[in-house]
Structure 1
């Protein structure tokens, strides 16, 4: 009988279901499957199975029985899942159940490990000792050659590293780093050469000679390479034998201590898990390998606990000293608290690693070790960055001498600005370390969140806002430095008083505008709607305008004063009854320092007039009083001669015109006043007037010209003259002379 192709496909599908549910077909009438022939019946291409299936399908009763059995064997329709119970009681029950299951798994793992140890030492494990003996012989040959050559190479490399230390050790940081790199290369070369010699020996000796090597020799060589390279890293970092090349601030005793224990633990774990356990698994059995792993892991944890207890007091003292350097601030108190109980946390962590390995060595232990390594790397990198920032801030920023001459205030500005930025960077680094640790221990999925649309949007907003703030700060420093450069007389052209005033006003106005717009743009970047802020600012400005009329008057008057250029910085003015030098001008007030050095802050609302004594030119007005019997022409000539001597001094360049002699201007009670004027540069008339008065006094004294001053004349009365008594200058009355009438 020929079966159509669709029917053949249907038969093949039914045949697959038939052998997937063999117990069902065993009870079908007319179909007998012997248990001894089940393996043969399991072949899809068996012709007998196809014939039996065809016979069942042709028989109505057998076909109906087969359909009924298949319906009974088919899984029932899944009932709709009930919504999850999110109550606190249900969540607590789930949590306690997971804890109980984990504890049970741990107990079972511990029990299995104990059984494996007992079987390994009681000899009940099945093992082919002939194979084990041959394996051990081949491994012994490779191990002797490998470790023997490495020992000899170490004897050669240690003197080489000592010579490197004698030449480069103890010098500058660059020289020490170069010597450290050379020492690391020499040490690594010894490891690689020994590893290569071991491979050559494994390929040409023992039962595997002739260019082929066993897997066990390869395991030993690879374990040697990984373990010794890891130990090399610790030797390079600590340098226990060569202190002059050591970069870390560690004592010789501590370097030797940590190098010793790190080498033992790395060798113990590395050779056990990478070499001994795989060899025992293939040669003796999984139970023996598990027993050895249990012993080694427990030994390593015990060694770790011993190391923690040995260093408990040293670490506590070190953390307390760090807190003392920080004067026991918030972070210092945290360090003290950690120092009191750090050993308990460390021991608990080591025991957790041991329990995790017993429970799930293929999953939990690699996760904890990987998370630990990532956390240590994050802490080390963050610590190095924070230390570098701290040293950079403590050393300070120093600019070149020529830059300091051109911009004398830039270094001070940067010293005030850079530490704040470095403090922000320090906190960003600390937050990054915390995020890295949380990501390593899967406390949260920061990378997954940052890769999502929401994370990218949030990170982009924060980054944009930070860039805006940083750009505003840099722009402020640039503009302030440019204004400082324009006002510096050393850099080039001497700025005028007007330039000083306008540049300082521009710097103040630019700073205020930059702060306002920078803050608004930064808030807009992080999602804050600044429209209500702008509207509120307008309403607030209107309220201030109505409530602070004096402030508005100050600003409006200041704007007009600046617009009309009435006064500038450095001018000598009189405003609101105060005279002095203008030291500072803002849009609201003027700061004046008077002759005695007193500083007066005068708001523009109290200024009704400004008298500027330094515009265009100045006059020294010399009003000289002489006696009535003086020769006026002689006085005028003396004043001209004094001016001629003045022109021979350094003040000649400050005098703009000849002496303006105006003559007699007043008759006083005891003197005649003669006036003359000297035209000078703005603000120079005070110094020129003082010098002119000195010269004029000298000439008057030379020529006998009297400058009147108050005199007191005593006139004796008639009775005193008649009695012959006259008043002595000392006040005593003297008798009249004998020859007096």
Structure 2
């Protein structure tokens, strides 16, 4: 914030705050009116008269017109430079008006004015002689030959559409810069003629009449403004108690009703503030008529009075709204510091505007050229723009804090589309002051360059920019809400399709980001159109934008169709797996889970190739050579990788025939283990000791799957030759019956034991064989449990084993073979 006085001191001080500046301005302008104005008028009138004399050299000299009064009498102070811009015709000059003749008679009868007239005529004659006689040794003036016009350049397509604000800004700037350069050259030539300026100043300083008139004008101006300011101060002092009473009666800030009650008191305070200003106006305007100044001095005093009254009235109106000294009478809700800050900067801006306008108007009365008049006004408004730039830069940080996106809650993470707009708001908060400064100078340029309907167009462009930005924000918010509702998964639907919600959440941020990007792109096109850039023409028939947009739409549709096909295939597979799981078809479910990675890989390759080829075709790449090259490369790879192709084909057939599945215990190529993974070309087995075997499908000639449908636990018991085999068989049936009666083992044993009898006779003893039908993967567990129980029964009944009793799941399975792979598993698994 800018440093400023305490709010209580802002409006308590009287009107003398701006007196030094106004007094300085009035004194300077009075001196100009009485001294410098006449010399400037003489310089302005000399060239036209010389031109008129050279234009009609053979005409008889006409009677001299009424000479200009030394202080601008006759025409009411009209600018002499403007009057002398075009020479009068001889007929008009030779017919004086009777009123002019009477005025000339009165002028000649006054000794003081007659002497002033003589001095002016001598100065005019000297100026004409100086203008007509070229400098010694100078060649005769000759107009340089105009260069041949250059051939017009070939027409180029304009970036800005014709008759738009941007086009007129560029055109007006070019014309105004050319005119301004001419004015600056003329002013530089006049200012650099230092001998003439010094001679005129010294002549005016030696003239006693001029000195007397300057002193007369100065004391009259000082008297008028001094008495007027004293009257304002006296009235302000007298009304201090009523103002304090209104301040005490004002309600405290609070509800809307208190605000309404405050309005009449604020209006009364405004009336009390206007009374001192009215006192100043009454006294000063009355004294102007009493002291009877010369016409030009009177114009200066009236203009200064108007400016001062306007400035004081504007500040009174601002105090009515802001009331920096009293919060009870403040209509605009703000703090004391803010009210004082705005009041101070408003006073500075109004002071620059009023002083600039007053200086331009007073200068115009003394014959100031219209170009200089416009330059003063433009510089004044430029100074106001610079002051506003200072205000903007001082308030850059507080406004940026208001524009930035609100802080996120702890642990909150916005979605991608919201992050984009949050970043956009933060970026705008960082550069808002630059945009505001650019808009200020654009407004000044529109006014300074006098662009037709410039302000209306600038306001329309600004309003359209804000409207488009607001509509884009609303459209983005609405689109995100609609997308969120469209992708909302009800609990019933999520229960029927478990993976649907996860897939929807996967694509939801991407879709929101795409929609937000489209909205921003469309808003940018409308912004360019409102700024005068014909953006929609870029997307006309045959234009680059049209082709680019068509390609993007085609590529986007291709990607959407590809994603839909991919997700539909995944959803169908997942639904089929869920149905198999509900129907207790574990075998088929395992096979589908085995085929799923390969199917997904193949589908992804097909979809990716389709999308890439379509994208390249839309970009303009000829895909025919690519397809031919891919075919050649594929043929070469096929010849060079026959074994790989054989692995893939064999694996596909094995899977489709449901020969193996994940979790099966198999023997492949002399290796055994549990199937852990199936790829498109190999199978991975986990052995009993934890080793991993990777077996290519081309090496598989025979598959031994020991975990399909059901299994038999084959039980071979070898007893001595002296043992009773019938008693041994009976013991085996009894132990099997006990196991079936046990809930733990009855659930996995599907049928009674089948005792085959004596299987063989060997040197060690007699082998009795039996088998029990079990669930897959349970025969080894059942055989181990049966061996443990039968050993105890044989010991109790005195049946001797010929050798250490053991049972194996099959006749050719050695200890440590596939049957040991599931040793840790129990019957309930």
TM-score by length of 2: 0.45
TM-score by length of 1: 0.50
